[in-house]
Structure 1
Amino acid sequence: MKKKIFTTVLLSCLGVIVAVAAVFASLDGKWGGVIATPDGNTINVSYDFKVDGEKLTGTAVSPMGDVKLENGKIKGDAFSFSVNVNGTDYPHTGKAYADSCAMDIDFGGSSSHFVVKRVK
């Protein structure tokens, strides 16, 4: 009886681990959306994310050009990174969902919340 309970618990835990791993894997790839800046402008942006364990790398693309993600981290469904545009760092924090990512970007004291969706 104890062996059966242990096996059931172990299989349940493995199912949760596989589900969490699927969230990590689902962040890989291209995502796109629009950022509303604090001054009222909008910026079309896309991200190409690559996940390796708890490390997040990739590229952000906007009308100002392509920049690499710096200091990227992912833990569970939460992630963070910065991009440097013309010498200014813009920290991002976000949460991954099955079909979208909700992010906040810091514009030097003012923040903006936006959502990106997978680019097909």
Structure 2
Amino acid sequence: MTNKLNVLLQSELADELNRMQTGGTSYRLETAQLALELSRHVSVPESLRHREVARQYVRAVSMDLQEDRAEDVAKMLSMAARRAYSSPESSFSLDMKVKLEEKRNRYKSYGLRAKS
């Protein structure tokens, strides 16, 4: 179970790293790399949703990081964990997901953006 949860977090961080490689600064790219590296060793990845827990984890694992860098890595970890484990759509029923997709497609056909 924990391995599956780690995969979710690492997938989010890998996506973030890919986004940084195509248009991010070198600082943000390095932050994404550090976050991905640190995520491989966390035992309870869903606990990183809380910024303070992520901050404590980063400081405990990487004592040689500067304060600003540690804060940025913790922020990236917590945001990725929130996206991976707190998605409201993941708790929707299949019927609700189909209706939501139909609504999005209907709005896209008119060139509008759905606020869902």
TM-score, L = length of structure 2 = 0.26
Greater RCO (Cα-Cα under 8 Å, separation 6 or more): 2
Normalized per residue, the structure richer in helix is: 2
Normalized per residue, the structure richer in strand is: 1
